[in-house]
Structure 1
């Protein structure tokens, strides 16, 4: 779940004929309801839990309190205003730029999540990295991500996303060459660092975390575009990686709750054993429901109730807006929730 499946699934897809692209796309659309959508929903469930305390700073330092306010209130208001203006003015070019912005933030989110998975596994396995090691890993993450994003913007081109046109940029060749050099150098430095750390740690490393880190950077970001089928599958693999950690985190939260060890009263639920497992199941079920509401029900209702210029903006405007909004906002939420120094993370993630 942390990323190892990518090394098995993606190579196989290279040999699958592209004529099956429609079938694979339909399969991944169905999987989105049980993997992709809940992974977004869970971030909202955790972020906005006891949100009043976070806004007031009860148990949170001033810096974290400000981050919660910005990510939880200011950012969604600004994005809402942006999309409202673009929709009411029928500015397709402005809205289309949001798609390119989403690709920018999604790539950033992928590599930061991969780095986070490595840090979590390192703590759990007691195979720690030094501050210098962490800097090397972070520099490499950003270097590979930025080079990959620049590669998608080597020339001005037009694409379509949910019926809206978006445009890539024409970045200069010299900038791409510099980005490639930095990404290659940082990758080499990371490899050398891992070898040295392996030797110092008694020939041992947090291997699952390294797999997660490598899959996020190289398979899901850097070379994902070598095969169109990869683009269909990678979001589900990324979601699996996220769910593995969130479900562990939520299990620890529920274990700490009162009456966590009591057996459920329902005979049907008693097969799950202790009571905290029932509450984890409720959390997962709520994520499934919220995901469907957010990605399907809300845009469907908005499309039926709110008129707009379909000739200029296409017939799927609200599906476009909701998808962009949640993807970008998800990055801001995670950037606050999973920070070192967050008391909830320190208490429940590393058990």
Structure 2
């Protein structure tokens, strides 16, 4: 069973690629990085547990129902308070970029304390733990809870994955990410992050300028500096996105195991439907590959294909199965009709 720690939020999106300022209504559903990962893995038939907090009201109950619908274990979601985190997604179109606005202060998750988690049992039966840099960015309380979770998982010899997920607009409670993140990353087995985020969050200098895809030969030497700083690392991965415009991206991924750089196929995503959650689908694919395969090439191929499909699906969640991903890989990235 895999556990993820984070916040599931109410997602509000203007329909038909509308702008927030012109809307009188919104499409409402749920999302959030760590919940997205949990649901992706559950769709891959991997037993999954979500560790979080939700308000004691109808919104909290609806979120629990949504997670349970995908067979995610919610027994360690603490029910407290009366506010649910919200975020607004303004989907771009053509040359107009997308926007995200958060309303997460004082949510049930933001106010979660160490006492809200049953530490003696939260990792029972867990053989992988995942967190992202969004969780400790929400509040000092969340940073404390994330650190405790990482330390407990490490003490139990549970492999740990971390998606850096730098969100500048969330780090507002008085500590920079560079003060919080290095200690959290000390026990990481699998890390997902780009050089820019790594420099901001850990101080490891980003030596790249321009398109990293044109400098792939230089990536292993850079990754070696990350391995040296975090010696428990086994893998580091980076997604590589080229933006032609908001509805046309090119997408590929790379993973490094300390010896060799493995690269996926590059996918041409056009027309792109919804990029939000694409990175989480990539993360879930990486975790699935590390758990199921002993082959970094198969892992990066699966993760990139899974994420590519997610870009064609509205909402945060990647609603595909392992078979769907494998079918895409077998087709070499081309679409087809399943009859």
The interval holding the TM-score normalised by the smaller chain is: under 0.3
Higher RCO (Cα < 8 Å, 6 or more apart): 1
Write 1 or 2 for the structure with the bigger share of helix.
1
If the length of structure 1 is used for normalisation, what is the TM-score?
Answer: 0.27
Highest CA radius of gyration, 1 or 2?
A: 1
If the length of structure 2 is used for normalisation, what is the TM-score?
Answer: 0.28
Write 1 or 2 for the structure with the bigger share of strand.
2
